[in-house]
Structure 1
Amino acid sequence: MAKIPYIRGVRPGVPSPEELRARIPGWGVDLDPADRPAVPRELVDGVPDGVLWDYPDEQSETSPRERSIEHAQLTPVFGTVAPLQGVAGAIRRLAYARFSEARAAHWLLLLGADRVESKEHLVRAYLDGRPDDPVAETGVTAETGTGTTSVTSRLRGGRVDQHQVLDPVVIALPAIAGGWLTWRVLRGAARRAAGH
C-alpha cells in the first residue's frame, strides 16, 4: 500500500462540512464529481491498480523540516540546502505548524518572515562592514554613462520604469531612519556610560 501524504479521516481543529456550509455561502459546490473535471486524475484511495509506479525510497530527515499540516509526512525527497534559521525561521515554522495553506495567516506569516529575513541580512551586512549602497540601488549611478544625466532621464517622459518617485521612499528612507535610530541608541548608551 502506498503512503499518501494527506491525512485521511478526522483531524483536530478542522470544521465539519456542515459547519463550513453554514458559515461560508457556497461552500462545497465542487464536491459533486460531475462538477469536477479533474476527478478522474485524482487519487482517492492511493495509487490505482495498473499504475507502474513504486513509492520512492524516502530521504532521511536529519533535522526537522517544515511541512503543511495537511500532510501526514514529508514528500519522499525534499530540499535541505537552505535550512530555517533565526527569527525568520521561527516565524516560518509557526506558519507551517499552526496554519493550513488555505489560510491567509499562513501566507502572511511567510511574507512577514521574508521581510524579517531581509532586515536580518541588512544588519549582518552592516556588522560585516559591507553595508548596502542606497544610491547605487536606485540605479542613478548606472545612468550616468548613457549620454543623459539621471536627473534629465527621470524628468523626461517615456521611461519604462515608473517607480522613480518611490525610490527615495523605498531605498533611502529606511537607510536614513536606520542611521538616525543607530545614532540615537549610541548617543543614549554614551550618555548613560558617562553618567554612571
Structure 2
Amino acid sequence: MPYTSDKPGPVPDADALRARIPGWGADADPADRPAFPREQPGIVTGAHWDVPEQQVEAGSRERSVEHLRLTPVFGTAQPLQGVSGAIRRFAYERYSEGQTAHWLILVAGDRVDAITAHLRSFATARPDDPITQSGVLGERGRRPWASRIGRGRVDLKHSWLDPLLVVGPWVVTAVIATRIVLWAVRPRARN
C-alpha cells in the first residue's frame, strides 16, 4: 500500500537478480552505496504514523486515475478554473499519467490558460508587450551570433523557429482582429 511507514518486502537474492537482469549488481558492494546503513532490516524509520493524516479537501482536486486517493498532502495554491481548468480535469479523469494523451491535453490546457491571460491583459492599463516581454530584443548589442555559432549549442538547429513561435501567435491574432474589425465596419452590400 502506498504512503505507509512500513518498509517494502524482502529484496530478492542477488544471484537471482543477476540471473534475471543483465548487468545487475554494479552497485552491489555496500561500500559504494551511501544509503546502505538505512537499508538494513529493523531500522526504525522515525515516523510517528502508520499512514499520514489526510489533508482536508476543501474542493475537488485532480487525481490521476491510477491512484485510489489523493496523496496525504497536496497543493491548493492554484485551483483549476475556467476553460483551462475543465480541460485539465478532463485529462485527469479520463487518461492515466502513462498515456501521451494525458500530457498533450494538459499542454493544451496550459496554452488555453496562456491565451486567456494574454486576452485579460488587454483589459488592464498595461497590456502584454510581445516584443519586450518575449526577450526578442534581449540579445541585441550582446553579440547574438557569436554566442550561438561555434559553441556546440544543441538548440542551434531550431533557433530559426524560435521567433516564429514567439511572435507568430501575436501576428496571427493581429491579422484575425483586423479582419474582424474590417468586416464589422465595412458597409454590407444590400440586395
Deviation at residue 145 of structure 1 after TM alignment: 4.7
Q: Give the Cα separation in 2 of the matches to 1:98 and 1:65.
A: 14
Give the counterpart of 2:163 among 151, 161, 168: 168
Deviation at residue 4 of structure 1 after TM alignment: 4.6
Tell me what 2:104 maps to: 108
User: Is residue 92–residue 113 contact of structure 1 (8 Å, CA) maintained in 2?
Assistant: yes
Give the counterpart of 2:79 among 53, 77, 83: 83
User: Is residue 136–residue 163 contact of structure 2 (8 Å, CA) maintained in 1?
Assistant: no
Q: Structure 2: which 5+ runs fail to align?
A: 4-15, 25-43
The alignment's TM-score, normalised by the length of structure 2, stands at 0.63
Tell me what 1:29 maps to: none
Matched, 1:99 2:92: no
User: Is residue 131–residue 137 contact of structure 2 (8 Å, CA) maintained in 1?
Assistant: yes
Query: What secondary structure is seen at the aligned counterpart in 2 of 1:127?
Result: coil
Bigger mean CA deviation after superposition, 79-88 or 128-137: 128-137
Q: Structure 1: which 5+ runs fail to align?
A: 6-32, 38-49
Tell me what 2:174 maps to: 179
Give the counterpart of 2:67 among 65, 71, 76: 71
Deviation at residue 142 of structure 1 after TM alignment: 3.2
Query: What secondary structure is seen at the aligned counterpart in 2 of 1:128?
Result: coil
Note the alpha carbon deviations across 1:107-126, whole angstroms, 9 max, x for none.
11112111221111111122
Query: What secondary structure is seen at the aligned counterpart in 1 of 2:107?
Result: helix
More contact order relative to length (CA 8 Å, sep ≥ 6): 1
Between the aligned residues of both structures, percent identity stands at: 41
Give the counterpart of 1:123 among 111, 116, 119: 119
Residue type at the aligned position of 2:84? A
Q: Give the Cα separation in 1 of the matches to 2:137 and 2:181.
A: 31
Residue type at the aligned position of 2:94? R
Residue type at the aligned position of 2:110? D
Greater share of helix = 1
Matched, 1:133 2:126: no
